[in-house]
């Protein structure tokens, strides 16, 4: 569906802008690049992120082959197909914040039931659960995010040995 809408939009833009025409062979190229991307990651199947990478690559090539005067409008037109890693970082941060909020509520209720007065100093969520929620959103690799600046700036840490994401208060 994504490739079909991309093809329709590419055909329309290439004919209206008078630039390089798009053909079915360009779509076939996206499929081959997706397969190659999956193989580079030692997978026997193509995932959404393989398709996204090949679509981004093909669009960058297509846009750079156009006249300079139409490149900016093409970038705007195809922005939804060229989602950046920044979008994924925001989504992963949101998922992690939601998980930590749920863990904090759980800890608060648990302490009330046990009649403890001390609030937790550290919240922990299993890395496997975070990876599972990311996969639900079609994000298959969170390692780069967990080692990135947004993760640290948000106050999270990773205990790789225990495979837990930690947040101190």
The string of DSSP codes covering 108-162 is HHHHHHTT--PPPSEEEEEHHHHHHHHHHTT----HHHHTSHHHHHTTEEEETTT
Tell me the β-bridge partners of 167: 123, 156
> Which burial class, exposed, middle or buried, applies to 15 when counting CB atoms under 10 A from its CB (0-12, 13-18, 19+)?
exposed
Q: What are the tens digits of pLDDT across the range 82-94?
A: 765 567 888 899 9
Count of other CB atoms within 10 angstroms of residue 38: 19
The answer on pLDDT for 56 being more than 80 is: yes
Angle at alpha carbon of residue 82, lines to 67 and 59, rounded to 5°: 40
**What is the enclosing helix (H) or strand (E) of 165?**
strand 164-168
- Tell me what the pLDDT averaged over the chain comes to: 85
Please give the share of the chain, as a percent, with pLDDT higher than 70. Answer: 92
The answer on pLDDT for 120 being more than 70 is: no
* Section 107-119 average pLDDT: 80
Q: Please report the sign of the dihedral spanned by the C-alpha atoms of residue 95, residue 86, residue 41, residue 63.
A: positive
Please give the share of the chain, as a percent, with pLDDT higher than 90. Answer: 33
Query: Per-residue confidence at 164, pLDDT binned at 50, 70, 90?
Result: very high
Q: What are the tens digits of pLDDT across the range 11-51?
A: 887 777 666 677 888 889 999 999 999 999 899 999 888 88
Tell me the β-bridge partners of 168: 122
């Amino acid at each position: 569906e994504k490739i079909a809408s991309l093809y329709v939009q590419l055909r329309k833009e290439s004919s209206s802008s008078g630039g390089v025409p798009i053909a079915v062979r360009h779509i076939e190229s996206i499929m081959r690049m997706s397969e190659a991307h999956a193989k580079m990651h030692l997978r026997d199947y193509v995932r959404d992120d393989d398709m996204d990478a090949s679509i981004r690559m093909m669009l960058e090539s297509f846009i750079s082959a156009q006249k300079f005067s139409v490149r900016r409008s093409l970038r705007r037109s195809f922005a939804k197909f060229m989602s950046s890693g920044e979008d994924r970082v925001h989504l992963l941060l949101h998922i992690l914040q939601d998980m930590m909020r749920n863990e904090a509520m759980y800890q608060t209720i648990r302490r009330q039931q046990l009649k403890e007065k001390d609030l937790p100093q550290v919240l922990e969520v299993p890395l496997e659960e975070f990876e599972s929620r990311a996969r639900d959103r079609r994000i298959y690799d969170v390692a780069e995010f967990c080692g990135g600046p947004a993760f640290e700036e948000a106050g999270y840490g990773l205990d790789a040995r225990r495979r837990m994401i930690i947040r101190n208060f």
